[in-house]
Structure 1
Amino acid sequence: MRIWGGTALLAAALAVGGCSVEEPEPVPAPPLPTSTVALPQAFDPELAPALATLTLVPADATTLTVTDFDQVRLQLGEPLLTSASPPAARAAFWRRAEARAPLLSTGRLRPVDARLLRDYGFTQDDVAWEAGFSGPSGQGWVARLRDGLDLTGVRRAVGDGVGPLAGAELDEETRLVSVGAAPDAASSWAQDDELGDLVAGAAAGATYVERACVPPETALGADAATAGAAATTEAELDDLETWSVSFGGSLATVRLGPSRDDVFDRLRVAEALPSTGPALARGFTQGVADPVGGRIGFVMADPAVAARLTLQRRLPFAACAP
């Protein structure tokens, strides 16, 4: 058994790739309960964005993306960047962020930044984090504005329906701007006990959650359908109902739920694909699996590519069982 941990990362990754490496003795891990994270029942700004967002996502939503712009600014050395920063510094930040960070959103307000700054005194650079969700009821989004921002201009911009703010609601107490958010926690994702462990963990620049497996033609690539079908059949994958990917500074963590005996098989699916399949290795490398925790860890070869592959759902490890 390969274990989850920094000291075993290289050995486990090489073993998955088929190299002759002696594996360390397994370290027993305690069984995990169904959920170890207490789910919020009201929005709490002190929680990590992905966990705090659960109270805002409608119960029937099927996908969620969260981008923590404060964390991205910190990782890129611009923790104090706001709309008051010099224009050249703001432009340079976004160039670096789009090239180097695992952005699941490039900022909903950015297309109207110039007007917002000129007429209302704020921009996307005043957004602490942003979430988007979709499902049978449609699409929606939530953005939390940074502490200290004067909300007078935001209130006027929402009232004027500027760009994506058309139809939005502003909650000045929580500093949230939203479209289509759940009216209360009782009708949100906060009622799904399985989601707590999928979004908890270390600080993440972005988090993706989906409540369904990915069809093989999407996860494996249409051009790799035949080889992909064979790979998933031979792998004997278990059903997958909910999963997540969280992006740290250089590591990505896939969470499939506790006690997953198929994590090694899911990790190996991409290896059986021809070169026409999704180039997972361009974004995710050195995979290591943890069946007890139901996790797969990767080093991100290119965080921006890893984020794009996730948004496109070109992820062999999330493929539906045959």
Structure 2
Amino acid sequence: MLKSAISPAVQPNRWIRIRKKVWKSRYMYLFVLPGLLYFLIYKYLPLLGSIIAFKDYSVFRGFQNSPWVGLKHFERIFDNPEVVQVLVNTLVLSFLQIAFAFPAPILLALMLNEVRLEWVKRIIQSVVYLPHFLSWVVVVGVVTIFLRGEGLVNNLLGLWFGIESIPFLQMPGLFKPLLVLEVIWKETGWSTIIFLAALAGVNPELYEAAVADGAGRLRRIWHITLPAIRSTVVILLILRLGSVLDNGFEQVFLMLNPYVMDVGNVLDTYVYYKGIEQSDFSFATAVGLFKSVVGLILVIAANHLAKRFGEDGIY
């Protein structure tokens, strides 16, 4: 009775306070609005189209009239040997990137943190940031110019050592290492920004005390620097695991050729070939939805594991 008597009077006051707060921060909300609209239009509204993963979608019948088939297309993901091979390619490439490309910005941030001359540090940072602003079309184009049969590398090998032309871009064994090296070269510098920001918050007195106690540079890195960025590393690793089935369509698609298709075709490119080239829209959507669900499960599991080990996690 007391609750029902109080709530009608409290409720209007509550909404008045909310309106006042919103109006007071109206300009901040206006700044946030474009970002919210972007995610709403390009991320959330397209999710409604995921319904065709459970239908035999026909462009002529449309979303409403296409017949329901349940989990038929999801069963095809595991029944088709081609899909299994594509899934293996995706996982191998993702874990290679996590093993080699993910630690690269951490190592670079640690090295930059040890540079004492600020002007040298700024120059190095500017140089290593630049590749991030190049598109994958440009990066792959440069790699192709260097490694093709009549490219710079083969010309130098022939001129200096008399070695015949090596088809680097047609060698299946080099496809995944080349992709990982491209990611390291392009994104390592830009990814150091987060780690350098975390290192900027370390109290300099900790280093001074360590020096006074006789700790060398490696010991200072191990006992002060690394613990300072541990939480940041864990959070970024959790987010990276969420995209473990996402290798980046553009880079892989530009590097593919018939010689490396067996080892280079990943889920992103497979969805493109099935959905766009072969018009198998329902199956392509099922594969994309499967990727998203697996990514969500990995994020939740990794976040739970991080909390078990005493880290904050992402939520």
TM-score normalised by structure 1 residue count: 0.26
| Larger of the two Rg values belongs to structure | 2
- Higher RCO, 1 or 2 (CA under 8 Å, sep at least 6)? 2
TM-score normalised by structure 2 residue count: 0.27
Q: Which has the higher helix share?
A: 2
